[in-house]
Amino acid sequence: MKKVFKHTLIASAISIGLVGTAVAKDLVVVSWGGAYTASQQGAYHEPYMAANPDIKIINDDSANGAVAKLRAMQEANNVTWDLVDMVAADAILSCDEGLVDEIDFDTALAPAPDGTPASVDFGDLLVSPCFIPQIVYSTTFGYRTDLVGDNPPTSIADVFDLEKIPGKRSLEKKAINNLEWALLADGVPADQVYDMLGTDEGVARAFAKLDTIKDQVIWWEKGAQTPQLLADGEVVIGSTYNGRLFSVIEEEKQPIAMMWDWQVFDLDGWVVPKDAPNKAEVMEYLKWATDTQRLADQAKFISYGPARASSAPLVGKHATLGIDMAPHMPTDPNNAKNTLLYNFNFWADNVDDLNERFTAWLNQ
């Protein structure tokens, strides 16, 4: 055993030595892959590598389940990731567990062009001391324009209305968002939704509302499923991330339209793993990649809103399609009439319980 260990050590020492002698330093950046990593590659990685030839950014598309992997790396004392892209809820969890480093926003991040410190520029979106938000995305609905006739859905209540919108709909296979939408569709005012979900009667009411459409729902687990189901005509309306709908509508020109009513905002951003191998280089990179212009640049590639207030006016046209991106942002005033912000505290406490009830409900 000891010998094997020694040999592994020697082997890794040699490989580290090899990397060390190479000119470029490798930064392993973990993200979601697909269109999302492509947008980061275009807006951040490529310009940064062009300006810093001694840095080589390696994309690792394993952000799915990253908290579990990070936890395993910490337990094995072998953290190989430099920077990880996470949704806010996972970042809060990792921060709680001490898997990622806290960040002093005002010293580590660039101020806005007018000198506003980063902590003010990001404002309320700094939901955890470890988390630097990049984008605001929303979970919202898309529907088939040719299948709904002259009566397109306009409100969340229509999703639950089988008479107005007959046919299958797709919803995510977890409690989050669906319970909120069920209560909103049932007439609960938005500011009471979470109070209500904190009680057994409120949860029962949400499930009772979901019961009314249960046999017409296809449950999705991956963000790409609803666009596919819509394109195939398997569902009439379905929820997914707004960026996915943008690409199926504008890039693939499918007969699909957005229904933004009660979209749920969520955040996605960076965390730096504790004991990341190249911390100094990563912090350098982060300072640049999260500045006002860079966040606005990402919106050229994907229709997610930049997390800095100062970036919004800089959002321009799509890099290849040449269309104006502002109207496609979830944060655009026309789209954001009724919105809900993902309630991190509520879900941190209740996610296990309510997902369990949700699963049991699905199986009934």
Strands 55-60, 256-271: pairing kind: unpaired
**Spatial separation of the C-alpha atoms in residues 225 and 239, rounded to whole Å:** 10
CB nearer to another protein: give 271 or 312.
Answer: 271
53, 65, 187, 333: which one contacts another protein (CB under 8 A)? 65
Check binding of 279 to another protein (CB under 8 A).
Answer: no
Interface with another protein includes 334 (CB under 8 A)?
no
Closest CA to 27 of 82, 106, 102: 82
Minimum distance, C-beta of residue 362 to another protein, in the bound complex (Å): 5
Tell me if 97 contacts another protein by CB under 8 A.
yes
Nearer to another protein, 288 or 346 (CB): 346
**Identity of the residue, 48 or 219, whose beta carbon is nearer to another protein in the bound complex:** 219
Say whether residue 219 binds another protein (CB under 8 A).
Answer: yes
Parallel, antiparallel, or unpaired: how do β-strands 83-87 and 256-271 relate? Answer: antiparallel
Regarding 77 and contact with another protein (CB under 8 A), the answer is no
Query: Is residue 134 within 8 Å of 268, Cβ to Cβ?
Result: yes
Q: Which residues contact 318 (CB under 8 A, 6 or more apart)?
A: 250, 300, 301, 324, 325
Count of residues engaged in binding another protein, rule: CB under 8 A: 31
Q: Which residue has the tokens 């996972």?
A: 90
- In the region spanning residues 129 to 158, those forming contacts with another protein, defined by CB under 8 A, are none
User: Which of 95, 136 has the CB closer to another protein?
Assistant: 95
Contact status: 86 vs another protein (CB under 8 A)? no
104 in contact with another protein (CB under 8 A)? no
Closest distance of CB 66 from another protein, Å: 9
Single out the residue of 59, 102, 106 nearest to residue 274, CA to CA. Answer: 102
Q: Does residue 352 interact with another protein by CB under 8 A? A: yes
Among 8, 12, 15, 345, binds another protein (CB under 8 A): 345
Contacting another protein within 226-245 (CB under 8 A): 232, 234
Q: Which stretch binds another protein (CB under 8 A): 32-40, 62-70, 288-296, 334-342?
A: 62-70
Q: Is 241 exposed, middle or buried (0-12, 13-18, 19+ CB in 10 A)?
A: buried
Backbone torsions φ then ψ of 240, nearest 5 degrees: -165, -170
Q: Which CB atom, from 171 or from 289, has the smaller least distance to another protein? A: 171
Give dist(CA 153, CA 159) in Å, integer.
7
Contact set with another protein (CB under 8 A): 1, 64-65, 67-68, 71, 93, 95-98, 218-219, 232, 234, 345, 348-353, 355-357, 359-364
